[in-house]
Chain A
Amino acid sequence: MLEPILIDVASLNLPALLPMAILVVGALAVICADLAVKGLNRSFLTMITVLFIILDFGAVIGYTGPARGFFDVLLVDGIAMMAQVIILVASALFLPLSLSHRHFRAFRMAEFYALFMFMIVGFQCMVVSDNLILIFIGLETSSLALYTLIALHNRAKAFEAAIKYFTMGALAAGFYGMSALIFYALTGSVEIYQIEKVLMARHFEPLIGVLAATVFMLGALGFKLSLVPSHTWTPDVYEGSSAPLAGYMSVVPKIAGFVVAMRLFEMLVASGVVWVEHILYVAVVLTMTLANLTALVQEDVKRMLAFSSISHAGFMMAAVLIGTTQANTALFLYWTLFMFTNLGAFTMLWIVRHRKNLWDERYQHPYTKFSGLVKIMPTTATIMGIFMFALAGMPPFSVFWGKLYLISAAINSEFIFLAVIIALNSAIAVYYYMKLVIYMFLKEPVTVDAKLYATNASTPLKVIVGVAVIFTIFAIVFVEPLLTVITKYVIASGF
């Protein structure tokens, strides 16, 4: 006879679940509304979704309860809060890109918005937990939703991208499951802090098991974070997706992955027993350098941005590798600044998107398309140039401050070689970002028809670009308050 399980509702700490619950309700509501009413307008759907995201944001910000909740699988600590803020702000800024001037089938379907919300819920589950199972659920929820969102774009390339992403993602999920399984077998727990305790007590014996689990986890997270060598899907998937989704993928899934990596790897790196530090070191250096070198030879701006975002992910992984408080602060600072700049860059691509590939048989955004843009649309060219300089790490624009803080964190932890590698990679990166600037400012235009470049522009898009530009140019003003807040939260979460 089994004992009845008694659960005290108060101890469940349901408010911790509230942010995710809001979006789940929102997603279901959108689907139901779509069943009841024919032909909901995309602007209505977009704004409703943004409103739900804002409600969610409020619930995240306003949460004051204990760190643990819901059978202790939820862990709402400082980094979880910050990661959620980045995820939600990025989502709220990327989603209105659906309100482009031209209509795309994907944005007319209510399912798109419902899936979008489910995806955000998945990302949130990944960051507000240190339970390997809940992280897995979050990872899969978000990934499956994302595959479908990519496929909804209804282009041949989009299907290819979705299939590619799906197959690789399934493999990564398998790796993740295997890793979690081994950790459980070793320690009898799936909670990271418990795993850490047990492993510490046993001095990471049996080492072979820990190593196997670490390797599988590296494979899984390496795929999510597009670390070399599991980065090959990235450019193809970005190229096949619509620009808003590509930009979204370059920011949000990665921050969720970084949080998981921080929770898991920093304990392994700090242990000093496992050679995960060396492996990570190699992966970081390779990711930064190879992605940069490959970006040099791209002919398409979107692919170039894809490779460059791999390189930026490498910088961030360096922060996880260093693992000091300053490095973790640098990670969040960098990613916040990078989010706005990347949002700007991908939005610009979205604005200049044309229905036909007029410039190249294969690519939508070849460099030649931007030739002499300064003579056709001076403002557009200038804004795009600012984004490129910012991504390249030119002072005084946004990403420079993140890079500065990151290199500084590396130096302060005696990672001089890493600091030099990061600096040299910045120098390499300048070249391919400059390439676009040179095409826009120094070459002669191939066409003088300004209409070709503005077919997709609309007021919401311009507003979003405006927000991104302001953040990019005046980042210098936001750095200090951001640093203060981020440092406080990082220290509070014990990283």
Chain B
Amino acid sequence: MEHILSLLVFFPAIAGLLGFLVVKESIRAYGISVSAIEFFLSIILWIGYDGSNAGYQFVEYYPFISSYGMSYYLGVDGISLFLVILSTFITMIALIALSIEKEIKNLIISVLFLEMTMVGVFVILDVIWFYAFWELSLVPMLYIIGAWGSANRMYASIKFFLYTFAGSVLMLVGILYMGFLYHEATGIWSFALPDWYLLQVPFETQLWLFGAFFLAFAIKVPMFPFHTWLPYAHGQAPTIGSIILAAVLLKMGSYGFVRFSLPLFPDASVYFLIPVAVICIIMVIYAAMIAYAQKDMKQVIAYSSISHMGIVILGTFAMNAEGITGSIFLMLSHGIVSGALFMLVGVIYDRRHTKLMSDFGGLASVMPNFATIYGIMLMASVGLPLSIGFVGEFLSLAGFYRISWVMTLLAGTGIILGAVYMLVLYKKSFFGEVVHAENKTLKDLNAKELTALIPLVALVVILGVYPKPVLSVIDMSVQKMLVLMDQKAVVQETKDLLFKANTIGGTY
């Protein structure tokens, strides 16, 4: 158990290298097996995780470039544990549902490398390594979109890559500046995150550093107005690329906010709270409106992702335990639900080679199982109580209610708008008469697709009804982080706001 995290990070990569030696006929089985083993490893991690302990567990620490303060430093806490499990789970499910035949070997190897970088981002506690994994995750995704996407894939993949890379280079400057500050304060070099948590940064410096980090995270999330790469990427990506992109890669950005921005720069986070919240509300409402106007099923879900991520960031900036816990839970639920929805769109695309809603209609009578699962996922996405989507959204908004009830109300309209565009999508595609002759002969879900989708449905229901085992673990670590923020704050206003946000009934 000591080295389980290293194993989790590098097992997919080693498996990916060995994958070159596997013959083409059995590479799919190989990919599924590897990702299943990886998933079970992450489940073992959860079983071994001590839920009553809020700190980092399974820590591995080896000095790496000690003269410069770099180390190989791994650990998980409640904030990252479930994101790791989400990454491994979604990768496994996506590989099970994979329906591409073209150059499948390269695709599966790319996905395994991508899995390494995703797990790496969530468990690395050394910031330089974090940056390395963060950037490295772009390369397999570029290849997946660019080689297996649809007609305009080249443009979409380059846009995705350059946008995110350019946003990240300033984060590197910020990281190095933090290292410099740490050296100024203590006289030793260190890029270990737990060390940085003990450092009090002057207020003006915090503002600049927050900006440097914010850009990288905001592009990744993606926040308005940096969201323009996402519709392109989703529109052109193959199904597996869309699933992983929506379910895990976007979560890196919101994870970055929770892991870096808030605890490292508490004063700046509070200082920028209102602007960020305004951006989030714009994201929620604006993206929902665009989603309503789309003709393409996949684009609706892509824009709904932006809308939901708005609520995630809003919850993160609620500065209290409910909001942040809720936002992390919403990351998980959005990962599961949007992954499932993209998979379902992929299912129908494989059968009809079109994603336009006007080409469907009346599918419920032709494909009952498909329609049922689609309906469940849609309801979860809208945030129906007793489904997984409700828990996170409710907690995020309830948390932010302490900051400002007006803004919460505005963001709450996002749920209503979400119901509007999702139900319209459902109505156009599934209800009514079958108008197109091609749709009469469509086959319902086959065994492979059911294997991939049933676990997702089960999760949506189980965690929707009983989220406590997950929430309590997250909550422990979030509480610890909030205490840390309070200790680190250098401005009195920040302490006041944290106090107000974390006591009952405080409003702005």
Contact = CB atoms under 8 A, between A and B. Distances in A.
Interface string A464-491: 0000000000000001100110010000
Interface in A4-27: none
A479 B65 contact: yes
Contacts of A460: none
Interface in B309-345: none
26 contacts: A395-B131, A395-B133, A404-B172, A404-B176, A408-B176, A408-B179, A411-B180, A416-B173, A419-B176, A424-B169, A424-B170, A430-B165, A434-B161, A434-B162, A438-B157, A438-B158, A441-B143, A441-B146, A441-B147, A442-B143, A442-B146, A442-B154, A442-B157, A479-B65, A480-B64, A487-B67
Given A395-B132, A408-B179, A408-B180, A483 B65 contact: yes
Nearest to B135: A395
B193 interface: no
A427 interface: yes
Contact of A396 (B132, B158, B161): B132
A394 interface: yes
Q: Lowest 8 A-B CB distances belong to which pairs?
A: A395-B132, A427-B166, A423-B169, A442-B146, A408-B176, A427-B169, A480-B65, A423-B173
Interface in A314-348: none
Given A395-B135, A420-B170, 16 more contacts: A394-B135, A394-B139, A395-B132, A396-B132, A407-B176, A408-B68, A412-B183, A419-B173, A420-B173, A427-B165, A430-B161, A430-B165, A442-B143, A442-B154, A442-B157, A487-B67
Contact of B162 (A374, A400, A430, A442): A430
Nearest to A481: B65
B128 interface: yes
B499 interface: no
Contacts of B179: 408
B405 interface: no
Contacts of A484: 67
Nearest to A409: B176
Contacts of B162: 427, 430-431, 434
A435 to B, nearest CB: 9
Contacts of A374: 106
Nearest to A394: B135
A427 B177 CA distance: 18
A91 interface: no
Interface of A: 374, 389, 394-396, 400, 404-405, 407-408, 411-412, 416, 419-420, 423-424, 426-427, 430-431, 434, 438, 441-443, 479-480, 483-484, 487
Contacts of A405: 68
Nearest to A427: B166
Interface string B150-167: 000110011001100110
A242 B431 CA distance: 68
B176 A483 contact: no
Nearest to B165: A430
A430 B142 CA distance: 13
B136 A396 contact: yes
Contacts of B139: 389, 394
Interface string B171-191: 011001101100100000000
Contacts of B165: 427, 430
A405 B191 CA distance: 13
Given A419-B173, A420-B173, A434-B161, A394 B136 contact: yes
Contacts of A412: 180, 183
Given A438-B158, A441-B147, A442-B147, A480 B173 contact: no
Interface residues of B, number: 34
B contacts with A: majority SS: helix
Interface in B4-33: none
Interface string B226-261: 000000000000000000000000000000000000
Contacts of A416: 173, 177
Interface of B: 64-68, 106, 128, 131-133, 135-136, 139, 142-143, 146-147, 153-154, 157-158, 161-162, 165-166, 169-170, 172-173, 176-177, 179-180, 183
B143 A404 contact: no
Contacts of A443: 154
B135 A438 contact: no
Given A394-B136, A412-B180, A434-B161, A407 B173 contact: yes
Nearest to B166: A427
Nearest to B65: A480
Contacts of A404: 128, 172, 176
A478 to B, nearest CB: 11
Contacts of A424: 166, 169-170
Given A430-B162, A441-B143, A441-B147, A395 B136 contact: yes
Contacts of B170: 420, 423-424
A431 B177 CA distance: 25
A282 B147 CA distance: 41
B158 A434 contact: yes
Contacts of B133: 395
Nearest to A389: B139
A163 B147 CA distance: 44
Nearest to A403: B172
B67 A480 contact: yes
A441 B180 CA distance: 39
A365 to B, nearest CB: 21
Contacts of A407: 172-173, 176
A396 B13 CA distance: 14
Nearest to A407: B176
Contacts of B131: 395
B171 to A, nearest CB: 9
Contacts of A438: 146, 154, 157-158
A202 B238 CA distance: 71
B169 A426 contact: yes
A454 to B, nearest CB: 20
A411 B177 contact: yes
A427 to B, nearest CB: 4
A483 B172 contact: no
A434 B166 CA distance: 13
B490 to A, nearest CB: 21
Nearest to A435: B158
Contacts of B132: 395-396, 400
A444 to B, nearest CB: 11
A403 to B, nearest CB: 9
A394 B140 CA distance: 13
Contacts of A420: 170, 173
A419 B171 CA distance: 12
Nearest to B153: A442
A411 B65 contact: no
A389 B136 CA distance: 10
Contacts of A394: 135-136, 139
A374 B162 CA distance: 22
A396 B142 CA distance: 17
B347 to A, nearest CB: 26
